[in-house]
Chain A
Amino acid sequence: MIPRDAHDLSRPDYAEFKSFVALNVEPFAETWDREQAIPRAVIDKMAKAGYLGCTLPVEYGGQGRDVVTFGLLNEAFGRAFAALTGVLTVQAMVSMALAKWGTAEQRRRWLPALAKGEKIAAFAITEPGAGSALKSLATQFTQKAEGQPLVLNGSKKWISCAQFADLFLVFGMLGQRSVACLVPRDAPGLRIEPIDELMGFRGAGLAQLHFQDVEVPAANLVGKPGFALSHVAPVGLHYGRISTACSALGLLRGCFEESIAYAATRKIGDRSVGDLGMIRSLIARMGTNLEAATHLCHNACRAQDDRLPEVFEKTLMAKYFTSKAAVSAASDAVQIMGAAGCHGSSPVSRYYRDAKIMEIIEGTSQIHEDLLGKIFVAQAGERAE
């Protein structure tokens, strides 16, 4: 039986999300993956449905839905086409960071447009020489005097949705202080160089950004200088991890459902594939991981809704476990389906490529292990006292 925890999957909004992707996403996923492009029309439909402002407060034009619902949204899209969850991910990363740390004027100016999808955002933090090592940011802001415009120089790489984003939340250094700054796409001096031919998340519109003497108003600074890496980025990355974990959960669920359907119907002589013990082992592992991942993702989302301090470690665990389980499940799903699973017409071949990306974005598995290890050891130290 397909693991169905009692909590969320029977919720009407999950059925709504699944209907949306069945109609607007699944039939086209293979084409978008092959062409490495997501049509703006489907993003507009997502915006019209309110999905781009899912968790933003109603006062800013958002849906004001809880994070559990946001998780279900990402799960439904992750099942259908993971690259499209990239839009949900980065829109939430920028929107929620802005909702938390933006000035009243910034929130009034930008959030309604982000909630309605009139503006698509991108989270520009990774650099050619700084991925997980964020303290090594080389992007430089300069400012003649406080309140004066900032001048931005440097480059960002592997930025999801940058090919079509209208607004970038750019992280860099102002002297010795980290800063985050909103930079519109049409800012003079900003050049956007598409990055294509990725193995997975094809269509997520990745690009490299080149900033050459880009002038931005001081009013575009988000949070105080010195707190971009300690406070602004973690809020965005946190929502990115929730989104990615739940998207990976959807992909994992897709692997499981495709595998059991194939195992039940594909005949080898007078037996089905599912009669083979080795296949059952693969499916058993996949189904158990799916159940465990479902609980981890739900717990992380619920902890965010309840604003529990432990939400960060719960989200790290959810993203770490689920993305790794998705990689394993996608590999096993291809194995179960054999040649049929290797062809582009099968979603599991796309799952196989997309899953690996999920283990890398919003912090690699190794970074998660490092952080979680520190957290657990600290807790053990407390108990030992």
Chain B
Amino acid sequence: MREADIKQAVRQFISSAVRLPDLGDDDNLFESGIVNSLFAVQLMTFVEKTFGIEVEADDLDIENFKSLNATTHFVVRKNGHGAG
């Protein structure tokens, strides 16, 4: 999947889970105070299911999931390619 497609899918998921009309690519989701307490695991489950990857303990780094861009780049790295 191309990086642009990954980003679009992640954006769609975040928009379905967070009420943030103008989501910026680098907006920090966890500092905004708008996500519910389950959002972190919801996002994790989404990327695992959608992109066929496994989020492991070593991946637990806020830099991997803090924003739309961060999550997209994490998925690209985890998938082992960055074409797009």
Binding site for B on A (CB under 8 A): 101-103, 134, 223-224, 226-227, 230-231, 234-235, 238, 307-309, 311-312, 371, 374-375, 377-379, 381-382, 385
Contact = CB atoms under 8 A, between A and B. Distances in A.
Given A102-B57, A309-B13, A371-B36, A378 B49 contact: no
B74 interface: no
B16 to A, nearest CB: 5
Contacts of A235: 41
Interface of B: 13, 15-19, 21, 36-38, 40-42, 44-46, 48-50, 57, 60-62
A101 B60 CA distance: 9
12 contacts: A102-B57, A223-B57, A223-B60, A226-B60, A230-B40, A231-B40, A234-B40, A308-B45, A312-B41, A378-B18, A382-B15, A382-B16
Contact of B16 (A103, A308, A379): A379
Contacts of B18: 378
Nearest to A303: B45
A337 to B, nearest CB: 39
Contacts of A374: 36
Contacts of A381: 19, 21
A375 B21 contact: no
Nearest to A230: B40
A231 B45 contact: no
Contacts of B36: 371, 374-375, 378
Secondary structure at chain B's binding surface: helix, strand, loop or mixed?
helix
A280 B17 CA distance: 42
Contacts of A227: 60
Secondary structure at chain A's binding surface: helix, strand, loop or mixed?
helix
Contacts of A308: 45, 49
A224 B19 CA distance: 29
A38 B8 CA distance: 53
B1 to A, nearest CB: 17
Given A101-B57, A378-B16, A382-B19, 16 more contacts: A101-B60, A103-B57, A226-B60, A226-B62, A231-B40, A234-B37, A238-B41, A309-B42, A309-B50, A371-B37, A371-B38, A374-B36, A378-B17, A381-B19, A382-B15, A385-B21
Nearest to A371: B36
A230 B38 CA distance: 7
A307 B49 contact: yes
Nearest to B62: A226
The 6 closest A-B pairs by CB, nearest first: A381-B19, A309-B46, A230-B40, A224-B60, A378-B19, A227-B60
Given A224-B60, A371-B38, A307 B48 contact: yes
A309 B18 CA distance: 14
Contacts of A102: 57
Given A223-B57, A223-B60, A374-B36, A307 B45 contact: yes
A92 B71 CA distance: 29
A325 to B, nearest CB: 23
A224 B59 CA distance: 9
A308 B38 CA distance: 14
B10 to A, nearest CB: 11
A224 B60 CA distance: 7
A281 B19 CA distance: 41
A238 B50 CA distance: 20
Contacts of A230: 37, 40-41
A309 B45 contact: yes
Contacts of B19: 377-378, 381-382
